[in-house]
Amino acid sequence: MEVKRKDGESFEALIRRFTKKTIQSGKILQAKKVRFFNRGKSKRELKDSALRRKHVNTKIEYMKRIGKLDEFNLKRSKRR
């Protein structure tokens, strides 16, 4: 993006004209889209995270059944 200063134009007017041109061109929106783009997880990553969750949940259920984990402590640890 290039904006040349006109004769007798103040610096503020030049900046205002430059920002207006960049907004109209859509460069700022494009830059924000690229910056905050979040790639999805691959199938392998999804499977791994699902297996990890399943393993942790079975461990928690087992601990509850044998009495080493009560509901109060479980809810407290999830809040953190």
Q: Are 3 and 14 in contact (CB under 8 A)?
A: yes
Q: Which two tokens stand for residue 21?
A: 């041109």
State the pTM of this model: 0.45
Where does 1-70 have alpha helices with state H?
Answer: 11-25, 27-35, 43-66
Alpha-carbon distance of 67 to 73, in angstroms, equals 12
What contacts 27, CB < 8 A, 6 or more positions away?
A: 1
Model confidence pLDDT, tens digit, residues 22-73: 999 998 888 888 888 888 899 999 999 999 999 999 998 998 888 887 776 6
Count of residues in the chain: 80
The residue with tokens 């007017």 is 13
User: What's the sign of the alpha-carbon dihedral 12, 19, 1, 35?
Assistant: positive
| Predicted confidence (pLDDT) at residue 77 exceeds the cutoff of 80 | no
